[in-house]
A and B are shown apart, each in its own frame.
Chain A
Amino acid sequence: MDTDLVVRAQHGDEEAFASLAVAAGDRLHAVAHRILRDTDLAEDATQQALLTVWRDLPQLRDPARFDAWSYRLLVRACYAEGRRTRRWAPNLRLLPADEPTAADGSSTVVDRDQLERGFRRLSIDHRAVVVLHHYLDMPLDEVAETLGVPVGTARSRLHHAMRGLRAALEADARPSSREAVP
């Protein structure tokens, strides 16, 4: 990230912020979509995170830390979106049929369906660790710093989450008749 843009935006330069938002918007949305597993929620979380970035930028001490800081705000926005929908969403699941198969063919339809269900059973805390570590390739110490938790906590969450996903992959793939498609 261009730290000059960050500094200018910190001082209220709206054009500089627009450039930052264009540059950061896609990566933030990609992470939000993978944490929340819902397009509308991910868009709302990304929008809220970008506005929070603008609002709180003057308080960012180190412009070089912009990327990690923006992920932290995004995950917080995901928490908020997750809380907002918790009461009505827990028993719904998305069908993965519209999403492309991975290029290497390793992710089968069954795996994807099982992963989707297993991932949705995780808390936002656990999902965030999985996405930051396995999607963004962040080392665990950076994950911990981004989320504001001790490294041990990040490691524990990752272990718990991967154990849950492994169990999901190994479980019976047949969906229950009570599940619904939003």
Chain B
Amino acid sequence: MSTDRDVTRIVRSWLEEGATALPDRVLDEVLDRVPATPQRRAWWPARRLPYMNNALKMAIAAAAVVVVAVAGFSLVPRDSVGGPTPTPTSSPTVISSVPLNVKMQPGRYMTDGTDEPVLPAGIQFTVPDGWHNAGWAIEKADVQVSFWAIGNTYRDPCKSVSTALVPPLGPTVGEFVSALQAQAGTKVDSTTPVTVGGHSGQLVELDWPAGIDVSKCEAGDLRLWIAPGSGDPSRGGGVGRHSTLWIVDVDGRREVIEVTSVPGSITEAKRSEARSIVESITFAAQASPAP
């Protein structure tokens, strides 16, 4: 009978055997493919948009965020938006298949959640004329709408390397709202009960931290939350933005719709258009997890 120490010693010795060097041909293949492999940027609309080329945006589209367009403004708190809507007569277009920076055909679209960061799947919405897929969101002019799954948040958006919550954020709407309210520098202006697509939640009006030199932040920018996915992709941005969040519980899943813009850019027309998109949202039923 071997002792545990014997087994550990034998296993460690056995693990020392075997290949260690990566063949040059494998490394060469990797380096040959790098120029044709666009990098995924951080989810940071404030600086990303002017700097990114089409190839990078295509990569982000493949990465998949979905998005609807609306307006980044202070939506007047509502009792309810969305709700049951007629079943579409044709299948919605999967948003990740929509080319970037090309005007979208008005119609029904759907998130597919097939890539990282892990995005909510099965959200359907109607896009009016004049919007395009920006990869991380759909946008019109300087207004963007995006859908999110939330994996965790930070205590301080400027200290995103060192202040991710431990233990991580819980799964409920209330826990996310409370975490935002406790976040250093983030100002939650209001929280209001709301329903989207027939599912209840909270409407949150949120001002990003202001008066900060983001170049001195740990990641060189502000980060509000972390989406699931490799590398902990996070929602980044600059100072002075305003976001409206619909945080809803969809059969036990926390889904977040964000509308954001630079303050002062919103017009009543955009407000109305944004509201029409949010009102069009329905959530497809998800399969129950296996026991």
Contact = CB atoms under 8 A, between A and B. Distances in A.
Interface stretch (B3-11, B74-82, B83-91, B278-286): B3-11
Contact of B231 (A30, A59, A102): A59
Nearest to A12: B39
A109 B161 CA distance: 47
Interface string A60-73: 11100000010011
A17 B59 CA distance: 18
A107 B10 contact: yes
Interface in B98-144: 116
29 contacts: A14-B31, A17-B34, A21-B27, A21-B30, A22-B27, A25-B26, A26-B20, A34-B15, A39-B19, A47-B29, A51-B33, A55-B39, A55-B40, A56-B40, A56-B116, A56-B231, A56-B233, A57-B39, A61-B218, A61-B219, A61-B231, A102-B14, A106-B9, A115-B11, A131-B15, A134-B12, A135-B15, A162-B7, A166-B2
Contacts of B22: 25-26, 28-29, 43, 46
B189 interface: no
A112 interface: yes
Contacts of B10: 106-107, 111, 115, 169
B20 A59 contact: no
A116 to B, nearest CB: 8
A2 interface: no
B4 A102 contact: no
B21 A58 contact: no
Nearest to B164: A61
Contacts of A170: 1-2
Contacts of B26: 25, 29, 43, 46-47
Interface string B49-85: 0000000000100000000000000000000000000
Contact of A107 (B13, B31, B40, B230): B13
Contact of B2 (A26, A50, A52, A169): A169
Given A59-B230, A59-B234, 10 more contacts: A22-B27, A26-B21, A28-B22, A33-B20, A61-B160, A102-B13, A106-B9, A107-B17, A162-B8, A166-B7
Interface of B: 1-2, 4, 7-23, 26-27, 29-31, 33-35, 37-42, 59, 116, 160-161, 218-219, 223, 229-234
A107 B14 contact: yes
Interface residues of A, number: 56
Contacts of B18: 30, 33-34, 99
A45 B16 CA distance: 20
Contact of B13 (A43, A60, A72, A106): A106
B114 to A, nearest CB: 15
Given A30-B20, A56-B231, A162-B7, A50 B30 contact: yes
Nearest to B59: A55
Given A43-B23, A61-B223, A104-B13, A72 B7 contact: no
A112 B15 contact: no
Contacts of A6: none
A112 B29 CA distance: 33
Given A55-B59, A56-B40, A169-B10, A29 B21 contact: yes
B31 A21 contact: yes
Given A22-B27, A115-B11, A134-B11, A29 B20 contact: yes
Give the top 6 A-B pairs by smallest Cβ distance, nearest first: A25-B22, A29-B22, A59-B231, A102-B13, A30-B20, A135-B15
A27 B27 CA distance: 13
B4 A47 contact: no
Contacts of A99: 17-18
A166 B9 CA distance: 11
Contacts of B34: 14, 17-18, 51, 54
Nearest to B161: A62
A104 B9 CA distance: 11
Given A61-B161, A102-B17, A165 B35 contact: no
Contacts of B14: 102, 107, 111-112, 115
B35 A134 contact: no
A55 B7 contact: no
A59 B42 contact: yes
A76 interface: yes
A174 B76 CA distance: 75
